[in-house]
């Protein structure tokens, strides 16, 4: 099982759809590894693992810890480290933190949010040997500034942002929360793969948060999520059965005892 390379990701544009999913630990990364092209160690872990209301308080230490775990579990997938809020505020800060990612984990690339205003930072990283995935459209790290999670429909701005990121050297772009027809236009406007989340089907690939698509996160379900498993229900039923077996003395049985 050969490791997926950045060249293969870029070459998928116009040839095949790319599959990306989030993971935060070795166990799930290993389960996903054979089925996907890329695993994103997303700052969404701040909500899923830490129970926070948004992604903003995620730290570099936290993200590096989880990325180390994911890299231990996934041997084939291309691993992307999600740069947390405040970790790429300027060129020097971004490079210092990205170098730390490369030194302390086996991540293949970093992802950061922002359009053309972040192009100089991205260019600086790329020039120093860091592979960068862009992220435009709805940007979760801007949730407080924008007063919530809002679908984007400014086609001209989004196309300009995508082209600026391409010129800065990104190998791919995540496009989140964008009207489907506009997402298709953006995808056609750049030569790098565009990975959609809530951006329709006319993109080069899709990414979903694993706990959303497997039904483990119950607080809310975004419109763009398709649930492939009722995970929370299945786990609750299993634990309920375990508890009953313990309480009534059925577990452990003689077969399960030394």
Catalytic residue (choose from 117, 176, 237, 240): 176
Distance of alpha carbon 75 from alpha carbon 63, whole angstroms: 19
Average pLDDT over residues 236-240: 98
**What would be the CATH architecture of the domain defined by 6-227?**
Alpha-Beta Barrel (3.20)
Which residues, in sequence order, are bridge partners of residue 112?
134
160 in active site: no
Query: What mean pLDDT is reported for the chain?
Result: 96
At 14-32, the pLDDT tens digits run 999 999 999 999 999 999 9
Q: Write the DSSP assignment of 34-101 as a string of letters.
A: TT-SEEEE-TTHHHHTT--SSSTT--HHHHHHHHHHHHHH-SSSEEEEEPPTTTTSSHHHHHHHHHHH
- Tally of residues, the chain: 258
CA distances from 183 to 75, 100, 122, 137 (A): 31, 33, 22, 9
Tokens of 252: 């452990």
The pLDDT-based confidence of 222 (bands split at 50, 70, 90) is confident
Half-sphere exposure of residue 256: CA atoms within 13 angstroms, side-chain side? 7
pTM of the model as a whole: 0.95
Q: What local confidence, expressed as pLDDT, does residue 105 receive?
A: 98
Enumerate residues 6+ apart whose C-beta is below 8 A from 226.
208, 213
Query: Does the pLDDT value for residue 140 go beyond 90?
Result: no
Query: Does the pLDDT value for residue 115 go beyond 90?
Result: yes
Q: Are 208 and 48 in contact (CB under 8 A)?
A: no
Pairing of strands 205-208, 132-137: unpaired
At 47-59, the pLDDT tens digits run 888 888 888 999 9
CA 6 to chain centre: 16
Distance of alpha carbon 143 from alpha carbon 189, whole angstroms: 27
- Listed range (39-53, 73-87, 150-164) with the worst mean pLDDT: 39-53
Query: Does the pLDDT value for residue 1 go beyond 80?
Result: no
Question: Any idea what DSSP says for residue 114?
Answer: B
By the 10 Å C-beta count (0-12 exposed, 13-18 middle, 19+ buried), 242 is classed as exposed
Residue 89 phi, psi dihedral angles, 5° rounding:
-65, -25
Q: What local confidence, expressed as pLDDT, does residue 227 receive?
A: 95
For the chain, what is the radius of gyration of the CA atoms? 20
At 156-194, the pLDDT tens digits run 999 999 999 999 999 999 999 999 999 999 999 999 999
Percentage of the chain modeled with pLDDT above 90: 88
Distance of alpha carbon 186 from alpha carbon 165, whole angstroms: 12
Query: Does the pLDDT value for residue 122 go beyond 80?
Result: yes
Query: Does the pLDDT value for residue 132 go beyond 90?
Result: yes
Query: Does the pLDDT value for residue 145 go beyond 90?
Result: no
Q: Are 63 and 110 in contact (CB under 8 A)?
A: no
Domain-by-domain residue ranges, the chain? Answer: 6-227, 230-258
The pLDDT-based confidence of 217 (bands split at 50, 70, 90) is confident
Q: What local confidence, expressed as pLDDT, does residue 219 receive?
A: 81
Average pLDDT over residues 228-236: 97
Percentage of the chain modeled with pLDDT above 70: 100
Q: What local confidence, expressed as pLDDT, does residue 258 receive?
A: 97
Q: What local confidence, expressed as pLDDT, does residue 99 receive?
A: 98
């Amino acid at each position: 099982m050969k490791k997926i390379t950045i060249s293969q990701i870029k070459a998928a544009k116009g040839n095949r759809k790319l599959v990306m999913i989030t993971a935060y630990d070795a166990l799930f990364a290993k389960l996903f590894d054979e089925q996907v092209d890329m695993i994103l160690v997303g700052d969404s872990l701040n909500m899923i693992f830490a129970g926070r209301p948004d992604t903003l308080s995620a730290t570099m230490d936290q993200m590096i810890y989880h990325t180390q775990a994911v890299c231990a579990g996934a041997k084939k997938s291309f691993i992307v480290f999600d740069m947390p809020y405040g970790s790429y505020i300027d060129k020097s800060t971004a490079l210092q933190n990205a170098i730390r990612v490369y030194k302390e984990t086996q991540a293949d690339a970093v992802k950061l949010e922002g359009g053309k205003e972040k192009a100089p930072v991205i260019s600086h990283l790329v020039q120093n040997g860091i592979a960068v995935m862009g992220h435009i459209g709805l940007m979760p790290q801007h949730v407080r500034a924008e007063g919530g999670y809002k679908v984007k429909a400014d086609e001209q701005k989004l196309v300009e942002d995508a082209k600026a990121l391409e010129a800065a050297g990104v190998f791919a772009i995540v496009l989140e929360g964008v009207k489907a027809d506009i997402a298709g236009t953006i995808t056609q406007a750049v030569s790098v793969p565009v990975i959609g989340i809530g951006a329709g089907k006319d993109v080069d690939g899709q990414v979903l948060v694993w706990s959303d698509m497997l039904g483990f996160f119950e607080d809310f379900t975004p419109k763009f999520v398709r649930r492939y498993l009722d995970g929370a229900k299945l786990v609750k039923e299993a634990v309920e059965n375990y508890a009953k077996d313990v309480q009534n003395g059925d577990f452990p049985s003689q077969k399960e005892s030394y």
